[in-house]
Structure 1
Amino acid sequence: MSTHSLRKTSAISFEKVAGTAPDLIDMYKDAGDSLRKQDLIGTRAAVYLVIDRSLSMEGYYLNGTVQRLSDQILSLTAHVDDDGIVQVAFFDDDVRTIGRGRGLFRRSQKLADVALGAHQGRIAELHNSLGRMGGTRYRPAMEAVMEHYRASTAYQDSTPAFVVFQTDGAPHDEDETADFLRSTQHENVRWQFVPFGQENQFGCLSRLPGNVGISAVGHDPLSMPSAELYNRLVTGLPRS
């Protein structure tokens, strides 16, 4: 009998989410419903969220779209990872480094935590600390995610990585991106793209390996119910 079949429970209980992040309860319920439809309750994964900071994304930050996506992914994470944390990376022309601490203790890192109970306004806080917005190169952020995952206890425990990669434009480094994604196809990682805008501009992704999926949300992601987003996302969740 598989480990998955022995633990048909979410990583974090409804009661704990209600006590820690009551504003996420509806999203948590929707995510659970989508997982049950696919018989995925009990699945475990290390969840990453990669967010586009190209200049064309500015409006999506200002109107709360990016924060909402972060909340949606965090609510899904509560079902599959018991630390209640999503590792987040931001990219434009390069992966952006995030300062942590102050003075002599200040350190730069490529990923930041978004945690249950400390999620409200977190995306704006991080985004506003990163300065100007730039272009669209995927590969540096992908490399940062894989570097973090390979150094993690999740990797050592053979827990799969589920990377939600948000963008609103095709990459300027298409060949480099394709080569890197192909290099990960035999690793325990799934890349699930969430394009904002016209889905047909991301045709390059549909020709990539089987560990890559696309869950397009159109020009107005705020109008898409969370339940519909989860129904699309969970089909790409790796089965642990």
Structure 2
Amino acid sequence: MSKIDLRKNIVQYMLERKQLAHISARVGIVLDITGSMQGLYKNGTVQEVVERILAVASKFDDNGALDVWVYDHEFSRLPAVTEQDFNSYVTTQILKNKNIHKFGRNNEPLVMEDVIKKYTVEEQSSLPAFIIFINDGGAVKSTKKVIVESAIQPIFWQFVGIGNSDFEVLKKLDSMEGRIVDNANFIHLEDISAVSDEMLYDQLLNEFPMWIQAATEKRIIR
């Protein structure tokens, strides 16, 4: 079996264990491309992250595609990645793409607003959106405002902190008030390349089931 097929099997197991096997969702990944991320792009870590998250989209998503954004203080919405074209995706679609602004400073709200626009304006659907947001620190405080305001939307934000930053803003997501439902979670994986697929998928899918239930009860998901 190919590596993607093995990972899909692990995702399927996790979905069944967490009683999510019956759920369909649109899946997106938002990739930090600020200056401190340069090494992780060049050593293949980000490519590996995309491939690992693609397995989630392949089992969850209605079309098996993983929607992709990158951001620093600007952002780009990129072509979705699929099982047919994931090889060298980061090199061809990101690093060699001269239209993408790279290795600047953080501005999370800008890209988050585009994610919301895609799933709630451009492509309205009865399916929820599961957004995996990769960040290596320095998230701006106004990120919290976007999360609070988007709590009424069928979007769940799963933030993944990588590296050894303190993640001051993201660590407070679960204690944020003023939301109809808790629509965000944060996990910290200092060295994501050292985390097994089983542990990664287990943690990624830890709070999503609770949000599905709460969002359904509040009729955010219909």
Is this a same-fold pair by TM over 0.5? yes
Equivalent residue for 1:179? Answer: 145
Residue 53 (1) aligns with residue 33 (2): yes
How large is the RMSD of aligned CA atoms in angstroms? 1.8
Structure number with greater Rg is: 1
**Given the alignment, which residue of 63, 83, 102 partners 1:116?**
83
- Kept in 1: contact 2:12–2:59 (CA 8 A): yes
Distance 1:75 1:117 in 2: 12
TM-score (norm 1): 0.78
Alignment deviations for residues 130-165 of structure 1 (CA, whole Å, 9 cap, x no partner)? 254101111111011111111354x33x11010100
Q: Give the Cα–Cα distance (whole angstroms) in 2 for the partners of residues 67 and 191 of structure 1.
A: 21
Asked whether the 8 Å contact 2:78–2:93 carries over to 1, the reply is no
Q: Distance in 2 between matches of 1:120 and 1:147?
A: 28
2-structure distance, mates of 1:88, 1:159:
18
- Return the alpha-carbon distance in structure 1 between the equivalents of residues 172 and 107 of structure 2: 14
Tell me how far apart the structure 2 counterparts of residues 82 and 40 of structure 1 sit (CA, whole Å): 14
The answer on whether the counterparts of 1:77 and 1:85 sit within 8 Å (CA) in structure 2 is yes
CA deviation string 1:78-122 (max 9, x = no partner): 1111311111000001213xxxxxxxxxxxxx2321111111111
User: Equivalent residue of 1:39, what SS?
Assistant: coil
Q: For 2:205 and 2:158, locate their aligned partners in 1 and report how far apart those are by CA, in whole Å.
A: 9
Q: Unaligned stretches of 5+ in structure 1?
A: 1-17, 97-109
Residue 201 (structure 1) shift: 2.3
- Per the TM alignment, residue 36 of structure 1 is displaced from its structure 2 partner at its CA by 1.4
Match of 1:137 among 107, 117, 129: 107
Aligned residues between the structures: 202
Kindly indicate whether residue 64 of structure 2 is the aligned counterpart of residue 92 of structure 1. no
What runs of 5+ residues in structure 2 fail to find an aligned partner?
213-220
- C-alpha deviation, 1:37, in angstroms: 1.2
* Matched letter for residue 207 of structure 1: S
Matched, 1:230 2:210: no
Change (3 A) 1:199 1:226: farther
Distance in 2, matches of 1:55 and 1:233, equals 25
Could you list the runs of 4 or more consecutive aligned residues of structure 1 that deviate by over 6 angstroms after TM superposition?
none
TM-score normalised according to structure 2 size: 0.84
Q: Once the 2 structures are TM-superposed, how far is the Cα of residue 125 of structure 1 from its aligned partner?
A: 1.4
Confirm or deny: 8 A CA contact 1:93 1:136 kept in the other structure. yes
